Structure 1
């Protein structure tokens, strides 16, 4: 019988089903609910058939089974996108192959499909925990391959596996550091994927809902001095179109441009690296005015930065910024941010009165507006009352209870009515500084809205929240809210489980920065440092010595150690028994003496003597191999026995 026609190893199908069930879980970002249920149904059916020892399907039967499912997937092309469709077909091929498993040639094809399906899991995940899970699946598939081609009595040898891992680890590290970093071969589809974080529309209530999430938004490490907390304003979106209730992003932000050149002070420059979580939008985050950026980051109007595609995977990028106002780009931008509408007449009248009172002085009007918020009974709350059509009028002159979006929206409308160009900025303010790990952790709860107004052709920041609730800016959102409102926040639990989760988050951050974030720029710097190193000759000599030693040791381990010469077998027996036969006594007689002296172990010594004689006198290599295995198995017992 040919090797490919041998029956499958015991439990092979069950291991394969376990692997595929885990893959279905990992592929969830690409699988609609009904497709997931279909795949689970197929797995359950095959598990039931395997439990009843039912025979494999013929290729014709499998084709009739899978053809309607494949057609159903093809009809979902527009909904799924090409990449997701290919992943569906890959998973369907793996599960369908289960129904034809009968001989080893069928299982060999399944093994290679598994390898590709496991590798595709990295499209969705970069977290260290899931990387370990995917590596475990790879190990399980390697074990299936071992069971498929190894002898039935063969067992895994942990010591040899560990040795091979130690030998190959430097090779892996070298390839990771020195092999050219390639850009992604594909981009994630964005069909029917709900975005997270700030939306392209800002209305009363939008940020309130967002800040109740404790999910990570991004993390930041600074290569220069960390700015003061009151300067942690992470710009992401600029809202310029107002319909009387909500703010939208103008269509001009679909373009890309480079920020205008400006004079800066070297002391003001900030260099920092951001690690952004998937939020399925293109907007990225930055401080102040961005001067330079790493690939593939692009710039947008108003000094914003963006990603070329939707951020469907965790990404890392570096920026250089200065904490100064954003320069005006054009007269059209100025006119765009003066536009008004007929809604909220009381608010517009209030802005006109301020302009008349302070004779159009922008600085004086902004200061007066801040004083107005402080002196009136305005209250900062996560649960403001619902507002009607003229929402700004109701907020300013009736409820006077609102969140950051209420204050920012009202401020921008007042300033426009006073003849001052103004716009609303959406982003994040603050974050939790991790002192031991030296990085800033920004969550969705840090989402914030503020205002930029035009002064001397520069967009100056004005945050009315700082006037109403300065604790929000200086200490964070939790210090501003009441005890009942804090309960609405999904915070980390202050117990051992929450602390353990935070430590794992730190580990995941460093994994992302040092492993996933190792890009072409980092590799280029590494090459430059290596080329400038002055101790190459010493290193090469050391590596040559290590290589010679390693090769010699491997030759001894794989060749000399396994030689079955009589002298070699005699040495192994003497070492195991911690003694040697007397002069003139043969090894056979010496072992026979042990058998007589230890009658309880006579069978063991007679077996050793028989294997030794077959190895030496009959040149039986199989007997020599069995003798070495027996010595290794009984090494501890043999050392205790004495003549």
Structure 2
């Protein structure tokens, strides 16, 4: 009987079902609710079939089952996107094959589908914890492949596995460092992906919801001197359109318009401090990136947007690492049109506009004086900084300034920009992140969603000046972070485990994940090219090649000696066990195999047992099969008495 036609053991199908359940859970980002329910029903049916020991479905039955399911998936292509549809079909193929598999040849086909499905998990996950889980699935699939061909009595040999891993690890490392890194063949569809971080609209409650999340936004390592904490304003979005209640990103930031723009190096002051830094940004399904001050140098795969913002060429469906250089200075005015855009007003909030007009009369053409007057106003009046402000109506700015007087950073930034525009000063709201948690031992800055912040930029003769009205209400927010600003009840709204041992454990794991992201995920094509350049300039190539050649020859000699010794040892042990069990030795010049064959011919009653002993002996000696050697010893123990009588 051919190996491919042998029946699969039941436990093999159970392990295969476990692997598919884990794949189903990992594929959740690509599955709709209806698809998840469908796959859950199929996996439940497979579990029930294995529990009841039901026969596998025929090809006709599975085709009848799959035809409507596949049609249903094809009808959802617009909602799912092409790539997600491909992942649906891949997972469906794996589950469907598991319902029909019953022979080893079919099992091998299923394993190859599993390998491809496991590799596709890296499309969604780059965290170190998820990478460990995905590698564990690959090892489980590899174990299932091993069980397809291994004898039923064989077991895994940890020492041999470790030696194989030690020999193959340099090859893996060399391929990772030196094999050409190709760009992705596709991009994830993002029309149905939930964006994280700041949106294109900023209303009085948008940031308050965001800061209740403890999720990572990005991490920063400074490549030169770290700037002061007061300069940790991470710009991501600029809001210039105001409808009376909420701010929106202007159409000039649209990616389709940016493609036609020529990226030019912005004008900067040579005396402004230069900061070099590397950012590891989490996936947000947006193109916006984070930067300090005025970016003056960036990687080739980044693009510059208006208002000195940075963006990636495609949405961040995965973690991205990028390097920037920024000058800590004001952002220059791009054009007269930009100035006029940020002077636009509407008919809403008449009290705030009247207040701005009064300030303009009191301080004509003096933007800095007006800003100082606003700060004094916020400090002198009973304004409060809170995470749970009252709801506001249509004239939100007036209601906030003269009724509730309780708000978060977006309330103060929005009101300030409206007042400044009414005073004839171009102003806009900037959304991003403020501060972060500096990790002293690891030397990087950890910025979470709770650090989301909004502030104002107003125009003077020297450019767009940053003004943070929150500093007038809650200066501790700027200097110490949001936790020190809120009350105990509001602090409880913030997620996270920072104050217990579990939080410290999660923090340490986050440090490991950062190292993984920087040194593994962050190793890009540019880093590889730099590595190749350093290798080409290395002076000791000849010494390395001679040393490697000598080590290879030495290793081959050691392995050959070990192989010969091991085979001789197997032959010696097999000879000793057989002659002891038979109580005699073959005649001179007669091999052990031929002696056992002769004994089998002379003893028909024991012929089958002797033939089995001969085959196990030859497998142990000539095939270097340790499992056959163990089986030979067990057979000899079981048949010791009958063999001794036979030899007599």
Alpha-carbon displacement from aligned partner over 1:392-426 (angstroms, at most 9, x marks no partner)? 11111222211100110011011111111000000
In 2: Cα distance, 1:253 partner to 1:498 partner? 39
- Using a 3 Å threshold, how does the CA distance of structure 1 residues 174 and 260 change in structure 2: closer, same or farther? closer
**Contact 1:611/1:624 (CA < 8 Å) preserved in 2?**
no
| SS of 1:561 mapped into structure 2 | helix
Distance 2:504 2:236 in 1: 30
8 Å contact from structure 2 (residues 272, 327) kept in 1: no
**Aligned match of 1:18:** 18
Which residue matches 2:456? 451
Q: Encode CA deviations 1:360-409: one digit per residue, 9 max, x unaligned.
A: 21111112211221222221111111111111111112222111001100
Query: TM-score under structure 2 normalisation?
Result: 0.89
Farther off after superposition, 20-29 or 302-311: 302-311
Are residues 631 and 103 of structure 1, via their aligned partners in 2, closer, same or farther at CA, if it must alter by over 3 Å?
A: closer
Checking the alignment, whether the CA contact within 8 Å between 2:617 and 2:629 is kept in structure 1 is no
**Partners of 2:508 and 2:249 in 1: CA distance:** 38
1:528 is aligned to 2:533: yes
Aligned partner of 2:383 among 367, 378, 382: 378
Q: Mean Cα displacement is larger for which, 391-400 or 221-230?
A: 391-400
**Match for residue 470 of structure 2?**
465
Within 5 A, what are the aligned runs for 1:470-489?
Answer: 470-489=475-494
Distance apart, 1:264 and its partner CA? 3.4
- What pairs up with 1:212-251 in 2 under 5 angstroms? 212-251=212-251
> 1:146-545 alignment to 2 at 5 Å?
146-254=146-254, 255-256=257-258, 257=261, 258=263, 260-265=265-270, 268-456=273-461, 458-545=463-550
Pairing 1:47-86 to 2, within 5 Å after superposition? 47-86=47-86
Stretches of structure 2 lacking an aligned partner (at least 5 in a row): 597-613, 634-648
In the aligned structure 2, how far is the partner of 1:119 from the partner of 1:533? 35
CA distance in 1: counterparts of 2:487 and 2:580, whole angstroms: 83
Q: What is the rounded CA distance, in whole Å, between the counterparts of 1:245 and 1:191 in structure 2?
A: 27
For structure 1, which segment, 53-62 or 77-86, has the greater mean C-alpha deviation from structure 2 after superposition?
Answer: 53-62
Gaps of 5+ in 1: 574-586, 592-602, 636-643
SS in 2 for 1:208: helix
Which residue in 1 is equivalent to 2:135?
135
User: For residue 32 of structure 1, what is the aligned residue in structure 2?
Assistant: 32
Cα distance in 2 for residues equivalent to 1:322 and 1:608: 91
Secondary structure, counterpart of 1:11 in structure 2 = helix
The answer to whether the 8 A contact 1:260-1:329 is kept is no
The alignment partner of 1:16 has SS state of: helix
Shift of 1:154: 2.8
In structure 2, C-alpha distance between the alignment counterparts of 1:464 and 1:388, rounded to whole Å: 22
Q: Deviations over 1:598-629 (max 9, x none)?
A: xxxxx995379779997487496742655895
Counterpart of 1:561? 565
**Per-residue deviation, 1:460:** 0.9
Q: CA RMSD in A?
A: 2.5
| In 2: Cα distance, 1:608 partner to 1:43 partner | 58
Provide the residue aligned with 2:3 in structure 1. Answer: 3
Cα offsets for 1:484-518 (capped at 9, x unmatched): 21111113242211111111111011101100010
Query: Secondary structure in 1 aligned to 2:466?
Result: strand
- How far apart, in 1, do the equivalents of 2:53 and 2:207 lie? 57
| 1:195-229 alpha-carbon deviations (Å, 9 max, x no partner) | 11111111111111111111111111111111111
Q: Deviations over 1:94-125 (max 9, x none)?
A: 10011211212211111111111111111000
Question: Alpha-carbon deviation of 1:569?
Answer: 4.4
CA contact (8 A) 1:614 1:623 kept: no
Deviation digits for residues 150-187 of structure 1, max 9, x if unmatched?
Answer: 23333222211111110110010011011111111111
Aligned residues: 605
Q: Is this contact kept in 2: 1:423–1:452, CA < 8 A?
A: yes
- Distance across 1 between alignment mates of 2:145 and 2:593: 37
* Distance change (3 Å), C-alpha of 1:192 and 1:261: closer
Taking a change above 3 Å as real, the CA distance of residues 63 and 267 of structure 1, as seen in their structure-2 partners, is same
CA spacing shift, 1:297–1:359, aligned 2, 3 Å = same
Tell me how far apart the structure 2 counterparts of residues 89 and 634 of structure 1 sit (CA, whole Å): 48
Q: 2:581 aligns with which of 589, 606, 610?
A: 606
TM-score norm. by structure 1 comes to 0.89
Stretch deviating more after TM superposition (406-415 or 548-557):
548-557
SS across alignment from 1:530: helix
1:633 to partner: Cα distance? 10
